[in-house]
Amino acid sequence: MKHLGYNGRAAGASASRLIAGSACTNVERVIRPLFVAIVGLACLAAGCGQSVPGPRAIDLGRSTCAKCRHVISSLDAAAQMVYKDGTVRLYDDIGCMATDPAALRGTGELYVQMAGGKGWARAEDVTFASPAGARSPQGYNYFAFPEEESRRLAPDHWARGWHDLVTELGRKR
Residue by residue, pLDDT tens for the chain (173 residues) are 555 554 555 555 544 444 445 555 555 665 666 555 565 544 444 445 556 689 999 999 999 999 999 999 999 999 999 999 999 999 999 999 999 999 998 789 999 999 988 899 999 999 999 999 999 999 999 999 999 999 999 888 889 999 999 999 998 76
Residues 155, 161, 164: CA angle, nearest 5 degrees: 80
Contact present, 60 and 72 (Cβ < 8 Å): yes
Ranges assigned E (strand) in 65-172: 79-83, 88-91, 108-113, 120-122, 127-129, 143-145
Global pTM value: 0.69
